[in-house]
Amino acid sequence: MNRKHRSLQQTLFSAYVATSIDGRIARSSQSGTDWTSKEDWNFFQKSLQNFDVVVMGHSTYNMAKQQLKKRNTIVFTSKINKPKSSGSVTFFNPEKLDFKKFIKDRNYKNVAVLGGPKVYNFFLEHKMLDELFVTIEPYVFTTGVPMFSGDEFRKYEFFLQSVKRLNKKGTLLLRYKYGN
């Protein structure tokens, strides 16, 4: 979706996921994405320049906190009842507060969703995921953290917009649009 042609009242929510062929985004909730390609990293860093704020879960934040020092960041956590800010980082409990209102009040137009699985599920369940960028790295982990994790089966339809091969190894970048 073209960010320049959206209505002034709308916010664009874009999720970024790096995954193995078998849909794992990490070895554990404490491991990072050091297994992803430099091409994915370059794409990801360049893309983030277009966003007003990034949203992630607490585990993801703990792994990436150094890289986020100067970026507007919202960290989902269940440990608080009201938003708590520290510099450019705001800790937010989406179970207790209205996230759509929070985003609208701050006039964020472009929001990057960076994970993990519970965060991706939150955006799916609340119909706040407009596009999904999935980098598939040519690995099979067999165990690890899944891309999405829900309590019950639900089906969300996305439409493939583009496929790009990022390197000779076979890393692929897929861009999907939510079906609404």
What pLDDT was estimated at residue 32?
73
Residue spans of the domains in the chain: they are 35-147+156-178
What pLDDT was estimated at residue 92?
97
| Whether residue 3 has pLDDT greater than 50 | no
DSSP conformational letter for 52: S
What pLDDT was estimated at residue 179?
83
- Comparing CA positions, the residue from 31, 53, 16 lying closest to residue 130 is 16
| Whether residue 2 has pLDDT greater than 70 | no
pLDDT in tens, 78-134: 999 999 999 999 999 999 999 999 999 999 999 999 988 999 999 999 999 999 999
Q: How far apart are CA 35 and CA 27, in angstroms?
A: 10
pLDDT band per the 50, 70, 90 thresholds, residue 47: very high
Strands (E), 21-130: 24-26, 53-57, 73-76, 84-86, 89-92, 110-115
CB under 8 Å to 27, separation ≥6 — which residues?
141, 143, 144, 145
CB-facing half-sphere around the CA of 14: CA atoms within 13 A: 23
pLDDT band per the 50, 70, 90 thresholds, residue 9: low
Return the CATH number of the domain spanning residue range 35-147+156-178: 3.40.430.10
Q: Give the three-state DSSP class for 75.
A: strand
* pTM for the predicted model, two decimal places: 0.89
